[in-house]
Structure 1
Amino acid sequence: MTSGPFYIGIDVGTGSARACLIDAHGEILALAAKDILKWEPKPDYFNQSTTDIWHACSYAVKKVVADSGIDVAGVRGIGFDATCSLVVLSESTDEPVAVGPDFSDANQNVILWMDHRCPVETEQINATNHTVLKYVGGKMSIEMEIPKVKWLKAHMPSDQFLDSKFYDLADFLTHKATKAETRSFCSLICKQGYVPIGIDGSVKGWSEDFLTTIGLPELVEDNFRRIGGVLNENGTILSAGEYLGGLTESAANDFGLLPGTPVGSGVIDAYAGWIGTVASKIDDNDIRWHSVHGSNSHANTDEYEEEKDLEVAVHRLAAVAGTSTCHLAISKDSVFVPGVWGPYRDVLLPGYWMAEGGQSATGQLLAHVVKTHPAHAQALALANQAGQSIFEFLNLRLEKLRQEQDLPTLAHLVRHFFYYGDLHGNRSPIASEKMKGAIVGQSMDVTVDALAVEYLGAVEFIGLQTRHIITALNTAGHQITSIFLSGGQCRNNVLTSLMATCTGMPVVIPRYIDAAVVLGAAMLGAKAGSADDQGKTASLWHIMESMSKQGTVVYPSDHESERQLVQAKYKIFIDQAERQIRYRSIVDAVLNHDHDKVLVLESGLATL
């Protein structure tokens, strides 16, 4: 083993903390993970602990170092990513502060991203229609930090709230590693209502008017110090991977690394997925759909031009899949997409904008469909008997059903089964936590075959909703022509094939399927480690291209009947969403005694 350079990425997801160690070429030399705790004290309440998370990070880092056998002196940079969860610390002690509903348990000091405890606060914020909201798709999501802070103000003891400071989880990790109060543009802009200085009249990034209007004037005090301060006044805010300091002696001991090891500004986990996937190398001769703007084949030449290469990146959607899925698209200019978060400037590459769409439940949806079906136990036993995962078993079962019924494609198995899967609300482009699931075509059949069909309906829903998000992006002005997918769902050939066919776009699978996000974090470490004496670092895009590996491509179906079927199913998918909204509106109007509105809605319903 050489002496380096090596780089470490740390990814804190919903259920585990992971670390990876890479070399200068982006080869992953070691991976490790450790589960983290999650509490659900009440329905829709989800808490975590920074103490537990940090211990898991330390374990994973020490393990990749031990497993790879490297000399820790060769580790030249560390990068962090994490879920967009809210961390609360005491200003006076820098120690954890309880986030409730038990405000005596300071160990639980993280409100997880998927926590939905604050629907009232979210509606109150969005009812202001403040200018800030146009940079988060028109309204804040219940998953974002500001509604959760507003909930804390209303419920936690006032003395605790007044002594609290707030971090996105990724920013907490860099704070814990370096003791710096530096925040990331990614965290502040994407989840906390920060608008970069100079954009739309923004003077300090934070809006005093917005925070005061929504009832959080405490966050304005002392130049917004409790949420990171003002850039170049009392705060430091950095783009992804910029050098923010070195490991403290305490953090270095926790990780088994050397004090002073460079640490890069962190990002939200989905954005690390963009970093780890969208520069995947592809063979232009085999990519029939490839953009006319060229390839990334010149990335390592002396004629490297970042802006020219990014003309390729604007056509690539990163779909970072896990429990949920985030959809990320970059653009040179701001593009406003109703129901899609952003546009966000500077969060990854200075001067470039990002849009973030998403599905609130994808991996979680498929797991729910399978585990709650009456035939789950039987299907699981058969899968175990065959030495297969439950999804491998169901995919093979579907192919057997297709052959038995003499159907041309798997999609024909669900031609009269209409599954709408917003069981955990709609992140985009409808952007409503009120959206729920619906099934048309369900029978009393509770066999394993019925489970397979319902599972396939949920897979098709994921593909159709991906098309809905891409359609919203492109209608507004984006130019997406391909999907770069990451996460374990890449291994599900039925899902990747249906996603390609439903969207009419090729799906690119990266080399490191499960490690794309943590690889992206390691690339942030490489950027931090490139800092010169003035702290200037190398281009993140250049680092991505030099470290990314060859990807593989899944093409849309060329079966004409399947393409026509999917087109019809997409129209029905849209109709199901619109009907659900209308049904809810009719009932609400009746309960509110708004008879005129009821007549209008019922009239419209008859025409659907």
Structure 2
Amino acid sequence: MQSRRSRTSISISQQRMLSHSMTGLSLEQQKMLYYVGVDVGTGSARACIIDSMGNILSLAERPIQRQQLKPNFITQSSQEIWQSVCHCVKSVVRDSGVPSEKIHGIGFDATCSLVVVEEKSNKEVAVGPDFSNTDQNIILWMDHRAIEETAEINATGDKCLKYVGGQMSVEMEIPKIKWLKGHLPDNKFAECKFFDLADYLTFKASGKETRSFCSTACKQGLLPVGVEGSTEGWSRDFFHQIGLDELVEDDYRRIGGSVKNDNKGKNFLSAGEFIGAIDESVAEELGLSNHCVVGSGVIDAYAGWVGTVAARTDVSLPALAKSDREKVGIDRATGRLAAVAGTSTCHIAMSRDPVFVDGVWGPYRDVMANKFWCAEGGQSCTGALLAHVLTTHPAYTELSQLADAASVSKFDYLNSRLESLAHQNKARSVVHLAKHLFFYGDYHGNRSPIADSSMRAAIIGQSMDNSIDDLALMYLGACEFIAQQTRQIVEKMTVSGHNLSTIFMSGGQCRNGLLMRLLADCTGLPIVIPRYIDAAVVFGSALLGAVASESFDKSGAKSAISASRKSSIAGDLSQHNPKNSLAKFGGIGGDDLPSPYTAPSATASTSQIATVGFPFPAPDDVQEEQFDEDEESGSELNFKAQSKWKKDMEDRMKGRSSDNGDTMWNVMYTMTGSGKVVQPCAESHPDRVLLNTKYKIFLDMADTQRKYRQMVDAVE
């Protein structure tokens, strides 16, 4: 009998390269690699699949429910979320037509919500207020039930508070865990373990309880080894002091264990680092192959950072160009502020050294890259603010009818209405229309930089006008508030030591030309609008899948592609990344090719951008191993072989050292594509002068509100 090769002992790298030679595909398709991203937001789960040029090929979304049975109590279901994730991933794989064997990595992001399950069974635990409903086992990030617990935690003055802006927010997860200890019935708390939602998703995908520095450092008070003398990550004294002794038990097992300092079997990873192979049963649920690898997840806003800050721009940005000439690798991301806008907005900046900013969360080390620090400012409601202003105004029904009749969005209609009003009133500009309207919009408290959940909205200059024109002015005031508060956050960060040169936006708010103009003119910084306006966050998660795949491939003793093969890497990328193994691996390219999910308004350019394209080497020099004969296995991969590959991957990754995030930067830079720039007007422009004056009024309104509250509290 003629001997033939069995695939039972084939390595994961070899299996991947064999997928390139699949019959029935064009040559270009055979050379392309693919990655999946999953984003779980406040109201929906999304998934996308991208190719190795950074093009989104398919996108799917499914709504997820949230319950609010009483004020400040907002819950979700991890079962529903996971089912939605599976639906979306299967949909994008099916709709893209990409063979599952060619999908090499998956990344996850999610809101910073607390998932509670039974420690032994992983079954859902009801988090209240209805403790009989185990479908509701997630406390949503915007849940504010733990106000008293937050105050008690902040009263300790523990050193970990120094790294969350001086005090924990009610939106973070340790206050929620403390609330649960005081309210879960029947000693149920003793049976629980806790995940940030992004870490729960990677746990579901890989079967590993590996946690991310992003989730634990940003929302749970973990300090990486060496920060403030930390040796374990968690602080025993802190947990004992706040009455959470259970979290310390057995090396912090309920919250992921302690941080190991020997780089072996690490429990905590930076963004996109390799966790392991996807679990075999989960691969079937998701419609993926078993050799897809899972990358360490991030909080959703941080995926927006990944998906935007490496964008190349359609006009020259001197400050950014000068900065880039002085930096290499992930260091080039420092000084670029990502503003990730949705229901709320997060402002994320990376720095090489820790920068402390009162009222701004962080600095957090290692969350995105080893030894680099991130700071996170935020506005509790921006998209939610605009929706509230529109829907509560008496003219909202009229607005809906007029916008529908004109076949435009409500925001586009209002922007057009404001232009007409300016023309009718012979006003200098739209901004001039609101010169005597002073809108302070902290309806849901202040996250940054005041960090006061008791802050509320105030409007000076209202009349009894209930017309559509009054609604347009109220909307203008809300947009101006968002921009002025962004300036307040940027100034606070700059004064404290951040050197911010550009704001990289993401989210549907990017389509609002009025808001983008106000952001540029209020902050005085150029605003970069990304290639994928509505999908920048889920795109960032897909990049994390590419990072995990690339990290795994670089770790192998035998490369799937011979080290002797050289790729010709041209242009400025070769100057920054002369050893870019992404190109060598055969598919990560920089050409900003068309995608069905690219918004034309976001990619309109004033000049052509020189991008880098990489050749795709044929898989003709795979280093072969000896194969055992196994007549029964044929071309299918049996369970024993799958388990062996999974173990081989994990063994190969043990003891790996971090590359300080340069692999992630290479992925980001070569796949993000280009963005459109909104430049601020000259500082002497009348609109800038007016907005500068109104900024002083904005600050005074915030200070006066707190003063009034203190005066009343002194007698009540």
Q: Give TM class, smaller chain.
A: over 0.9
Task: Map 1:173-322 to 2 at 5 A.
Answer: 173-232=201-260, 236-283=267-314, 286-294=316-324, 308-322=328-342
Partner of 2:714: 589
Q: Which AA in structure 1 matches 2:470? A: A
* Cα shift at 1:137: 0.3
Using the TM superposition, give the Cα deviation of residue 293 of structure 1 relative to its aligned residue in structure 2, in angstroms: 2.3
1:545 aligns with 2:565: no
Q: Is the 8 A contact 1:398 1:453 kept in 2?
A: yes
SS at match of 1:526: helix
What amino acid maps onto 1:182 in structure 2?
A: T
Q: Which residue of 2 aligns with 1:400?
A: 420
Q: What corresponds to 1:88 in structure 2?
A: 116
Per-residue deviation, residues 114-134 of structure 1 (Å, max 9, x unmatched)? 101111111111111111100
CA apart distance, 1:235: 6.4
What is the number of residues matched between the two proteins?
Answer: 580
1:298 maps to none
For residues 353-386 of structure 1, the C-alpha deviation after alignment (integer angstroms, 9 at most, x for no partner) is 0000000000000000000001101111111111
8 Å contact 2:231–2:259 — kept in the other structure? no
* Alignment-derived partner of residue 7 in structure 2: none
Paired residue type of 2:708: Y
CA apart distance, 1:415:
0.4
Query: What displacement does 1:45 show?
Result: 1.0
For residue 126 of structure 1, what is the aligned residue in structure 2? 154
Shift of 1:157: 1.6
- Aligned partner of 1:572 in structure 2 is 697
Alpha-carbon distance in 2 for matches of 1:158, 1:318: 44
Mapped contact 1:241–1:527 kept (Cα < 8 A): yes
Partner of 2:193: 165
> Is this contact kept in 2: 1:291–1:312, CA < 8 A?
no
Q: Distance in 2 between matches of 1:289 and 1:388?
A: 36
1:68 Cα deviation (Å)? 0.7
Q: Show CA shifts across 1:63-102 (max 9, x none).
A: 1111111110000000000000000010121111111111
2:466 to 433, 443, 446: 446
SS at match of 2:482: helix
Q: Which moved more, 1:247-256 or 1:132-141?
A: 247-256
Aligned to 1:492: 512
Whole-Å separation in 2 of the counterparts to 1:335 and 1:98? 39
Corresponding letter in the other structure for 1:457 = G
Q: If the length of structure 2 is used for normalisation, what is the TM-score?
A: 0.80
Name structure 1 gaps, 5 residues minimum. Answer: 296-304, 592-608
Comparing 100-109 and 186-195, the one that deviates more = 100-109
Rg larger in structure:
2
Tell me which amino acid in the other structure corresponds to 2:486.
T
Which 4+ runs in 1 deviate beyond 4 A?
none
> Which of residues 178, 181, 206 in structure 2 aligns to 1:150?
178
Deviations along 1:300-331, whole A, 9 cap, x unmatched? xxxxx9x5244542221000000000000000
Distance 1:442 1:250 in 2: 59
- Give the counterpart letter for 1:171 in structure 2: D
User: Does residue 32 of structure 1 match 2:60?
Assistant: yes
Shift of residue 37 of structure 1?
Answer: 1.1
| Equivalence for 1:346 | 366
Indicate if the aligned counterparts of 1:8 and 1:20 stay in contact, CA closer than 8 A.
yes
Structure 1: distance between partners of 2:157 and 2:150: 12
CA drift of 1:225 comes to 0.5
After superposition, the Cα gap between the structure-2 partners of 1:269 and 1:474, relative to the gap in structure 1 and judged at 3 Å, is same
Q: Secondary structure at the match of 1:590?
A: coil
- Mapped partners of 2:324, 2:82: distance in 1: 43
Q: Which has the higher contact order (CA 8 A, sep 6+)?
A: 2
Identity of aligned residues (%): 54
Summarize the alignment of residues 16-31 of structure 1 with structure 2, pairs less than 5 Å apart.
Answer: 16-31=44-59
Instruction: Find the aligned partners of 1:128 and 1:204 in 2 and give their Cα distance.
Output: 20
Aligned mates of 1:118, 1:33 — CA distance in 2: 31
Structure 2: which 5+ runs fail to align? 1-24, 557-651
C-alpha RMSD of the superposition: 1.4
Of 364, 383, 386, the match for 2:403? 383
Shift of 1:247: 1.4
Say which SS state the counterpart of residue 19 (structure 1) adopts.
strand
Q: Does 1:555 align with 2:585?
A: no
CA contact (8 A) 1:243 1:263 kept: yes
Following the alignment from structure 1 to structure 2, what is the Cα–Cα distance between the partners of residues 243 and 338?
Answer: 34
How far apart are 1:259 and its partner, in Å?
2.1
Per-residue CA deviations over 1:567-595 (Å, capped at 9, x if unaligned) read 0010000000000000000000111xxxx
Q: Secondary structure at the match of 1:61?
A: helix
Question: Where does residue 456 of structure 1 map in the other structure?
Answer: 476
Other-structure match for 1:15: 43
Displacement of 1:291: 4.7
- Conserved 8 A contact 2:101-2:291: no
CA contact (8 A) 1:483 1:507 kept: yes
For residue 231 of structure 1, report the CA deviation from its aligned partner. 2.2
Instruction: Work out whether 1:520 is the aligned partner of 2:540.
Output: yes
SS in structure 1 at match of 2:127: coil
Which residue number corresponds to residue 591 of structure 2?
none
What is the DSSP-based 3-state SS (H/G/I as helix, E as strand, rest coil) of the residue aligned with 1:41?
A: strand
Q: What is the TM-score with the length of structure 1 in the denominator?
A: 0.93
Amino acid at match of 1:145: E
